[in-house]
Amino acid sequence: MPIDMKAAICRSASELLTKKRTKKLTVKDIVEECGITRQTFYYHFQDIPDLICYIMEQGSKELLENCLAQPTLEDKIRYLLSVALNARPLIQRTIPSSYQSELEPLLLEQFYSFFDQLTNESASSSLVSDSLTASQRKLLLRYHSLAFLGLVRTWSKDDSAHMDEIVHDLAQFFKNKTH
């Protein structure tokens, strides 16, 4: 059976990211974990930020599909928040790394893309009004992306204890969006 080398590299890097801080993650670590040559790594990825971006893009596609499959807006928000909170340790390890200047914009781009696709795919869960201009829509999507990242970054035990209330409040906020 042929091996999807790109996927194998991603799995190895993801495993290492859960064990190490990103600034200590090297191509050498990845190729040793995966049992490949450096040349094979560089055939598939330009560098570590390129690899992490690819991992985020793949995860974002799956996340969007699963999120849109949720029956209600509250379920969609709860699902998205739960996945982000589960990924929080990875986000916390990745952002303050030596790759921060490359990775933080990529993470925000992924959140932006996610909210953009969510608003395009599901009118019932639209986070922005259809009456907004293109520039207003972009600004509001950017706002949602930054707000979501901030919420995940600052999430507390108290927030976890009140997750249902927070999800409900976010859903109400989105349902009552400015027209």
* Mean of per-residue pLDDT scores for the chain: 81
Which stretches of 35-133 are DSSP H helices? Answer: 38-44, 48-68, 73-94, 100-121
pLDDT, tens only, 113-168 = 877 877 775 554 455 666 778 898 889 889 888 988 888 888 999 999 999 999 99
**CB of 125 within 8 A of CB of 73?**
yes
List CB contacts of 67: < 8 A, sequence separation 6 or more.
76, 79, 80, 83, 118
**Residue 178 in this model has a pLDDT that exceeds 50:** no
Strand, helix or coil for residue 32: helix
Helix (H, G, I), strand (E, B), or coil: what is residue 148?
helix
pLDDT of residue 38: 96
Query: pLDDT of 5-37, one tens digit each?
Result: 999 999 998 888 777 655 678 899 999 999 999
| Region 70-95 average pLDDT | 80
